[in-house]
């Protein structure tokens, strides 16, 4: 049931003879201290210029200098405000509601500011659209403090004033011959739409082209054809009972993302019910990893699957041309969809107009209540055809001016080089840009734009849900936002702020309330022409056309976006670069994901260094005549045979610090902005060194860290069968580990005061990683860089472990093996014994310090630098720590992190903590740790202490829900619940009493204050 599954973290572990795995299981710090290497080399020692005497001199001098320096403390200056703003109290945080809308991520957020500088992004609880505050949104605050930003307007690389810029651009636009192409991101902003219309009135030759870097063109076309509006259907997955996804990573960035919160709601078993999720896909995506049933199929098969699904559900077919195994899965999926009625939904990410039209038709036929086409999503409006046409026109010379805002086509267009040439043909080229990127480099005029935390805006998230963007800080540089520029250039003296206010006057009751809340419901004040659906896509023929186009040839590539990097806009953000990919656990890279059998066929290898560092072969990937060279390969369990995957958003060079210029640019393969391409792969020499943490902090041979069961067992069997408390032997009698007499330690009375517990629901956790970045931001966790991560020295306080397991239990396999009779039977049945890497099940498990009540780390610290608090926190005192690392060795959960270096203000670690601008993001309530000390999750004691102090000052009791950690507040899926276990009626108490509750490695007897809720899979086939 739960305990007899074998879990593994990497393909390497499936190899029984791997010495690396063995080493890593035995050792906390895999690498030896290179003393022998250093002292054993006589030549280098003798050639060294530093003699023993010199060494002693240096030691003596530095000791003397240090003690002299210690005598006189530095003089510290304090500079108060001359006129203190009324709302700012030094030491107290202010929160402002705002909205990110960078063309890829759209979300309503709360901005935490200290002394006027934004330091953290949080969820806006009022946001009804639940618009996906993902890891990138959490990290966006650091992108504002990017030292590589464009700081002032420039003409031909020359810094100019805005007055001069306005004058020059005004002259250029007035004298332009030919079209003015305005190429922008999706703004989804009524005011901006109005403004662009006014701009078009002044310059009648303006052509507005909306360009989404990662295109949703097919879905938009299908929706437009049916409903006349260029928008996307909205889905409420919390209502779903059966979800069938054909190639849609709807827990990732599919159609604008943000669906994971609703999905997670339906995944927690309530009254014996949870949703069932079936995923057909080629790349192993977050959605596939969370699915109850995942069927790896190639992109071309996906088309056939969708067509067949349409046939079974709506078209009245009963057969398909699919292989029997896949066909069976489709038949079962169709049956379950029909059974679920209005709770059924089909989604697809196939970049094909017909496929998307079929999805709409299937959901309509099912009567799906999950899909909402009335309140459609407006956050993707790009038009690939228009973009390609614009490039063509630029090349032919019929375009006189190009104005680009929020896009970087020179980098992100598949024909980037062609675009660069075409841009040279255009008389006036202007980029509104935050960073001196590829496009800005090519443009004559560069208008420095502010970050969204320095800007105003209004965003139409869906037809009737809106949100406002307001600045949380004055612009750091001499920047002006796109809309303010347009206002200037249309001779309008209003500021954009006033302009938005005017746009909305009469449509909302109170501007101040809307601004305070950040979100509001309304109807758009700006009319967008909506035609009747043209019906240009014929649904009846769509299925057969789809099947016809389904014949893929050769290897099929699916381009995807990573939860950390997205479309690559925030590539200069070290938090995001260092965030491990949820599935491969690799950071600082993109790579070609290949299935194991394809890798063997092509001779591609992954191997591990003795310290756990992963290496991968290089390949050249070619689409038609375009080749991307030296793409490293990762063998991805679950990758469909005959398919490969590659993430977009990497390989950017311009406007990026050298350390961040990692990965390969996959956009040249994104032909016609179509994510699926057929490719040829050619192995080239060399091995790539990954910074991959998948073998780090391993299970240490303890495989039963995850508990999971099926919905059927969960509903029908007793708890003790699927979530039993482990027994330990006391005087040769088995006793449950929770009974007091088996305990080595005397317990303390923990019923007085607060006692904090954290519950993590493995069913609701999708592995998105928002908590990892929130923890980074809250706790000043340093970025250590690629080579340090490779050495297993990553500093993440909170890691999300990803475990693979075989589809069925080992018992089943074992039974089968036992029952083999004769040679013939053995040949066939051994073949059926599955290859574990073909299609593994995946579990995500966030692990941070477990705050054990009987903590092994506390007893081994020679200086008592880690001790236990009455409130349940295992406290780590940096100023007391001498860095013996005994605690890390003795921690069964491997959650302690050692500061091998000084990561702040150190040229060797040139990330945000090494420049004045980047350090502005540091949380002043948390110490910046120095070299040589251990650190770990503190259960956000600064946050709980603040909550307690606020209550004391106000003389009131603390309500349930007031206590939060950074991770629990960041998790909009509700996977993390934090609270005071001694509080009557607290949610966390219910969690602790829940049948699904278990503690990690409970038999060790550490009595953690972090608990997990057993993963339940809905394997019930209808």
* Residues making contact with other proteins (CB under 8 A): 70-73, 75-84, 89-92, 749, 751-753, 867, 869-871, 873, 875-880, 925-928, 938, 941-942, 945, 948-949, 951-958
Smallest distance from the beta carbon of 772 to other proteins, in angstroms?
20
| The length of the chain, given as a count of residues | 1022
Q: Which is nearer to other proteins, 724 or 906 (CB)?
A: 906
Q: Which is nearer to other proteins, 273 or 870 (CB)?
A: 870
Smallest distance from the beta carbon of 986 to other proteins, in angstroms?
14
Q: Which is nearer to other proteins, 814 or 864 (CB)?
A: 864
Smallest distance from the beta carbon of 520 to other proteins, in angstroms?
30
Q: Which is nearer to other proteins, 214 or 876 (CB)?
A: 876
Q: Which is nearer to other proteins, 71 or 324 (CB)?
A: 71
Cα distance between residue 719 and residue 710, in whole Å:
12
Residue with tokens 């009846």: 540
Q: Which is nearer to other proteins, 319 or 945 (CB)?
A: 945
Q: What phi, psi does 140 have (nearest 5°)?
A: -60, -25
Q: Which is nearer to other proteins, 371 or 958 (CB)?
A: 958
Q: What phi, psi does 118 have (nearest 5°)?
A: -65, 130
Strand partners, 679: 555
Q: Which is nearer to other proteins, 176 or 951 (CB)?
A: 951
Q: Which is nearer to other proteins, 660 or 795 (CB)?
A: 795
Smallest distance from the beta carbon of 89 to other proteins, in angstroms?
5
Smallest distance from the beta carbon of 973 to other proteins, in angstroms?
27
Strand partners, 730: 733
Q: Which is nearer to other proteins, 69 or 811 (CB)?
A: 69
Residue 741: count of CB within 10 angstroms of its CB: 7
Sign of CA dihedral 10, 12, 15, 21: negative
- Alpha-helix residue ranges (DSSP H) falling in 367-481: 384-396, 409-412, 416-425, 438-442
Q: Which of 101, 407, 409, 104 is nearest to 254 (CA)?
A: 104
Smallest distance from the beta carbon of 944 to other proteins, in angstroms?
10
Q: What phi, psi does 719 have (nearest 5°)?
A: -55, -40
Cα distance between residue 290 and residue 243, in whole Å:
12
Smallest distance from the beta carbon of 497 to other proteins, in angstroms?
24
Contact present, 664 and 590 (Cβ < 8 Å): yes
Smallest distance from the beta carbon of 864 to other proteins, in angstroms?
8
Smallest distance from the beta carbon of 90 to other proteins, in angstroms?
5
**C-alpha radius of gyration, the chain, whole number:** 29
Q: Which is nearer to other proteins, 415 or 923 (CB)?
A: 923
Cα distance between residue 360 and residue 356, in whole Å:
7
Smallest distance from the beta carbon of 942 to other proteins, in angstroms?
6
Smallest distance from the beta carbon of 699 to other proteins, in angstroms?
29
Helix (H) or strand (E) holding 927: none
Query: DSSP of 515-582, one letter per residue?
Result: HHHSEEE---SS----PPP---S-HHHHHHHHHHTT---SEEEEEE--TTTTTSTTTT-HHHHHSPPT
Tokens linked to 4? 């007899």
Smallest distance from the beta carbon of 68 to other proteins, in angstroms?
11
Smallest distance from the beta carbon of 486 to other proteins, in angstroms?
32
Query: DSSP of 923-983, one letter per residue?
Result: -TTSPPP-TT-EE----SHHHHHHHHHHHHHHT-PPPTT----HHHHH-TTS-EEEEETTS
Smallest distance from the beta carbon of 56 to other proteins, in angstroms?
22
Residue 105: count of CB within 10 angstroms of its CB: 26
Q: Which is nearer to other proteins, 438 or 858 (CB)?
A: 858
Which 3-state string (H, E, C) describes 4-48? CCCEECCHHHHCCCCHHHHHHHHCCCCCCCCHHHHHCCHHHHHHC
DSSP annotation of 193 reads H
Smallest distance from the beta carbon of 958 to other proteins, in angstroms?
7
Residues whose CB falls within 8 Å of the CB of residue 400, separated by 6 or more in sequence, listed in order: 176, 177, 178, 179, 180, 205, 426, 427, 428
Q: Which is nearer to other proteins, 384 or 866 (CB)?
A: 866
Q: Which is nearer to other proteins, 86 or 529 (CB)?
A: 86
* C-alpha dist (Å) from residue 968 to 260, 519, 971: 15, 22, 5
Question: Within its chain, how far is the Cα of 856 from the centroid?
Answer: 33
Helix, strand, or coil (residue 670): coil
Contact present, 141 and 120 (Cβ < 8 Å): yes
Q: Which of 867, 861, 856, 862 is nearest to 941 (CA)?
A: 867
Q: Which is nearer to other proteins, 278 or 937 (CB)?
A: 937
Smallest distance from the beta carbon of 611 to other proteins, in angstroms?
31
Cα distance between residue 989 and residue 268, in whole Å:
17
Residue 511: count of CB within 10 angstroms of its CB: 14
Residue 171: count of CB within 10 angstroms of its CB: 11
Q: Which is nearer to other proteins, 16 or 954 (CB)?
A: 954
Q: Which is nearer to other proteins, 410 or 781 (CB)?
A: 781
Give the Cα-Cα-Cα angle 215, 207, 393 (nearest 5 degrees): 80
Smallest distance from the beta carbon of 919 to other proteins, in angstroms?
13
Q: Which is nearer to other proteins, 77 or 158 (CB)?
A: 77
The b-or-e profile of 450-469 (16+ CB within 10 A means b, else e) is bbbbbbbbbbbbbbbbbbbb
Tokens linked to 99? 């909205």
Cα distance between residue 1009 and residue 757, in whole Å:
5
Smallest distance from the beta carbon of 773 to other proteins, in angstroms?
20
Give the Cα-Cα-Cα angle 603, 604, 608 (nearest 5 degrees): 130
Cα distance between residue 234 and residue 218, in whole Å:
15
Cα distance between residue 926 and residue 922, in whole Å:
8
């Amino acid at each position: 049931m739960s305990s007899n599954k074998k879990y593994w973290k990497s393909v390497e572990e499936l190899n029984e003879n791997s010495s690396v795995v063995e080493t890593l299981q035995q050792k906390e710090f895999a690498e030896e201290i290179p003393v022998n290497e250093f002292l054993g080399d006589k030549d280098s020692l003798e050639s060294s210029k530093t003699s023993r005497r010199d060494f002693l001199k240096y030691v003596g001098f530095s000791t003397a200098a240090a003690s002299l320096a210690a005598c006189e403390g530095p003089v510290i200056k304090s500079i108060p405000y001359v006129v203190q703003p009324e709302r700012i109290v030094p030491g107290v945080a202010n929160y402002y509601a705002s909205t990110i809308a960078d063309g890829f991520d759209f979300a309503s957020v709360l901005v935490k500011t200290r002394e006027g500088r934004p330091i953290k992004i949080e969820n806006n609880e009022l946001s009804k659209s639940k618009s996906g505050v993902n890891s990138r949104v959490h990290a966006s605050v650091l992108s504002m403090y990017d030292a590589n930003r464009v700081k002032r307007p420039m003409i031909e690389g020359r810094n100019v004033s805005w007055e001069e810029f306005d004058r020059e651009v005004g002259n250029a636009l007035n004298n332009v011959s030919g079209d003015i192409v305005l190429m922008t991101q999706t703004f989804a902003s009524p005011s901006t739409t109005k403004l662009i219309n006014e701009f078009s009135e002044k310059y009648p030759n303006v052509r507005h082209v909306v360009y989404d870097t990662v295109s949703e063109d097919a879905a938009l076309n299908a929706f437009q054809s049916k409903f006349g509006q260029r928008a996307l259907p909205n889905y409420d997955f919390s209502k779903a009972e059966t979800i069938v996804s054909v190639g849609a990573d709807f827990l990732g960035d599919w159609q604008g993302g943000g669906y994971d919160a609703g999905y997670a709601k339906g995944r927690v078993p309530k009254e014996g019910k949870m949703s069932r999720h079936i995923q057909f896909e080629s790349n192993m995506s977050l959605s596939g990893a969370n699915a109850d049933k995942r069927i790896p199929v190639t992109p071309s098969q996906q088309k056939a699957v969708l067509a067949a699904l349409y046939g079974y559900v709506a078209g009245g077919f009963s057969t398909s041309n699919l292989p029997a195994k896949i066909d069976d899965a489709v038949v079962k999926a169709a049956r379950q969809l029909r059974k679920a009625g209005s709770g059924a939904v089909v989604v697809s990410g196939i970049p094909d107009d017909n496929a998307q039209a079929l999805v709409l038709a299937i959901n309509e036929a099912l009567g799906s209540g999950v899909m909402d086409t009335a309140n459609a999503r407006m956050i993707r409006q790009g038009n690939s055809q228009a973009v390609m046409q614009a490039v063509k026109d630029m090349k032919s010379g019929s375009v006189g001016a190009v104005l680009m805002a929020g896009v970087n086509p020179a980098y992100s267009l598949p024909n980037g080089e062609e675009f660069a040439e075409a841009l040279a043909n255009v008389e006036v080229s202007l980029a509104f840009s935050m960073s001196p990127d590829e496009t800005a480099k090519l443009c004559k005029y560069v208008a420095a734009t502010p970050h969204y935390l320095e800007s105003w805006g209004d965003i139409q998230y869906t037809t009737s849900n809106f949100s406002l963007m307001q600045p949380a800080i004055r612009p750091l540089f001499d920047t002006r936002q796109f809309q303010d520029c347009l206002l200037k250039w249309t001779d309008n003296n209003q500021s954009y702020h006033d302009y938005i206010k005017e746009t909305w006057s009469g449509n909302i009751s109170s501007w101040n309330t809307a601004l305070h809340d950040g979100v509001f419901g309304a109807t758009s004040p700006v009319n967008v022409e909506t035609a009747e659906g043209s019906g240009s896509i014929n649904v009846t023929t769509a299925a057969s056309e789809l099947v016809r186009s389904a014949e893929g040839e050769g290897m099929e590539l699916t381009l995807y976006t990573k939860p950390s990097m997205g479309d690559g806009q925030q590539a200069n953000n070290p938090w995001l670069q260092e965030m491990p990919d949820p599935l491969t656990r690799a950071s600082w890279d993109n790579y070609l994901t290949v299935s194991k059998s394809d890798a063997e066929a092509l001779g591609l290898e992954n191997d591990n260094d003795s310290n756990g560092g992963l290496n991968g072969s290089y390949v050249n990937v070619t689409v038609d005549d375009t080749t991307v060279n030296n793409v490293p390969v990762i063998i991805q369990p679950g990758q469909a045979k005959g398919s490969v995957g590659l993430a977009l958003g990497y390989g950017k060079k311009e406007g990026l610090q050298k350390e961040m210029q990692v990965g390969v640019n996959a956009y040249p393969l994104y032909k016609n902005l179509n994510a699926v391409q057929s490719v040829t792969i050619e192995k080239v020499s060399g091995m790539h060194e990954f910074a991959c943490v998948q073998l780090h902090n391993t299970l240490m041979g303890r495989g039963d860290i995850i508990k999971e069961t099926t919905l059927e067992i969960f509903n029908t069997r007793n708890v003790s069968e699927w979530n039993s408390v482990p027994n330990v032997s006391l005087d040769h009698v088995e006793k449950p580990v929770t009974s007091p007499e088996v305990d080595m330690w005397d317990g303390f009375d923990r019923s007085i005061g607060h006692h904090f517990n954290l519950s993590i629901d493995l069913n609701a956790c999708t592995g998105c990683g928002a908590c990892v970045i929130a923890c980074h931001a809250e706790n000043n966790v340093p970025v250590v860089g690629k080579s340090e991560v490779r050495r297993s020295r990553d500093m993440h306080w909170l890691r999300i472990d990803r475990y693979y397991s075989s589809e069925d239990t080992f018992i089943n396999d074992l039974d089968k093996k036992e029952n083999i009779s004769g040679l013939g039977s053995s040949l066939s049945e051994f073949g059926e014994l599955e290859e574990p890497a073909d299609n593994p099940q995946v579990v995500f498990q966030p692990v941070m310090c477990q705050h054990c009540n009987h903590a092994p780390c506390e007893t081994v610290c020679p200086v008592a630098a880690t001790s236990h608090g009455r409130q349940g926190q295992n406290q780590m005192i940096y100023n007391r720590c001498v860095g013996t690392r005994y605690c890390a060795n003795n921690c069964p959960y491997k959650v302690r992190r050692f500061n091998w270096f000084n990561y702040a203000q150190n040229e060797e670690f040139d990330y945000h903590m090494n420049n004045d601008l980047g350090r502005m993001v540091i949380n002043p309530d948390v110490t910046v740790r120095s070299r040589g000390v251990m650190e770990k999750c503190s259960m956000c004691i600064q946050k709980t202490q603040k909550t307690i102090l606020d209550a004391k000052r106000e003389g009131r009791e603390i309500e349930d829900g007031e206590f939060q950690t950074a991770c629990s507040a960041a998790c909009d899926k509700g996977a993390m619940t934090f609270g005071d276990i001694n509080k009557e009626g607290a949610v966390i108490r219910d969690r602790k009493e829940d049948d699904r509750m278990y503690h990690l490695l409970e038999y060790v007897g550490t009595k953690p204050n972090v608990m997990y809720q057993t993963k339940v899979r809905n394997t019930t086939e209808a």
